[in-house]
Structure 1
Amino acid sequence: MSSSPIQSVEHAFRLLDLLAHGGANLSSLSQSLGLSAPGTLKIVKTLESLGMICQGADKRYELSVGCGKYARAYCAQHPLRELARPVLERLSLLVNDRVVLSVLQGSLQSTLLVIDPRQGLRHPELEIPHGPHPSLQLATGRVLLANAPWECALEQLALYPAAYLPADIRDEEGLKALLAAVRREGFALVPTSQLQVTYLAVPVHSHGGAVVAALGMHITAPKNIDDSLALARQAAAELANVMVP
């Protein structure tokens, strides 16, 4: 039996989402939430007391340092992240390009680790995941959905309108064909908004053979796609070998 969300909790998280895009005053927050000023103030004061938000000198509310501990805890508790780090660092230095590790949460993907040698192997802005996001637009997401239950792919179609989906997907049959090809070929290749950059992803398998993550990397022209694919698969195999059975 499904349970309904608790409204006050839902409003609190919506308020945090609003402040993630920048500071706002009480009136603006009330309008965005569709609540009265006193109702919004109760949520604001609760979050403020928990160290999640604070009020600046201009009377606008903004996120506080308390939010960071949850992102750090998420990273620390996921066993793949630190196991993957040395493998991804070696690959990123070898190709001198961005390398990522992503996992699936329901039908949405979360990027556990991003390493880009051009920004420093431990660049702070790359260390903290931005949260789950749509999967089908990204090569890593396609690899993950191709190896997940079909219901996860259907949820993507339900969650996001056609305008946000890849141009070659408009219905269930198109999605099935795309994911079947990714599963059969063992990789996904997606162009990016940068003309010289293509996004490649390959599956990472557990000792039991299940796909537990996707390893993605940028291929910047004039690099060869076949050579990059071989390097990505080798790194994915290395990662599978260091995972605990």
Structure 2
Amino acid sequence: MNAQNTGDRGAREERQLVAQAKAGDYRAFEQLVQRHEGRLYALAMHMVRQREDAEDVVRTTFLNVIEHLATFREEASFATWVTRIAINNALKVLRKRRPGHFSLEEASLEETEGDIPHPEYIADWRGDPASLLEQQELRRVLEETIATLPEKLRLVFILRDVRGLSIRETADLLGISEANVKVRLLRARLLLREKLTRIFGEEKRRLSPHHDTSFHPSTMEAVAPGKEAGSRGRT
């Protein structure tokens, strides 16, 4: 059985579980929890970076699911729906943690494309973030590196590149413009590429970065993780 058939079967099974859970079958709901709790916990940890808060995000998310499952119209998949709930709950935790200071709203002049920093050097990687996350032995290093990003860059990177949301979806969830999502995403990629080059880059293939600080469309292709190529055009 190929991957597509397996995925189709999994989607059908999940729709059946959702229907059963809506009808009051608690065992079906437990299976939905088991399918998604690990993934949602990883997402929450990426965002809030504290175990207790991440656990609270997951608990609150499934309480929200219980409360609103009857009104879930299945216009999107259950996985997409529950992920959106978890993201919103994680953002609430961040706002409560620093009331009056946490803001993802439009920044001022610093949020411009002409102000993108260049890394000290770049190099060909032995892997990109999307593929490295699939390798257990490298996951810890990559997650720790992502955690060092400034918060507003880290959240955009997680939602767009790690979780695969579109530019528009990321902007809507964070309450910022699509242009700011693109700028922050590029900044995050540049910072990550520089940090990970030191770990995964091949010394003999290092390149000197261009010193022109203006933004060019080709810059995105040069520094973006490989996953972007597959999702280009999504808005």
Q: TM-score range by the shorter chain?
A: under 0.3
> Which TM-score applies when normalising by structure 1?
0.25
* Structure ranking higher on relative contact order (CA contacts 8 Å, 6+ apart): 2
Question: Greater share of strand residues, 1 or 2?
Answer: 1
**Which TM-score applies when normalising by structure 2?**
0.26
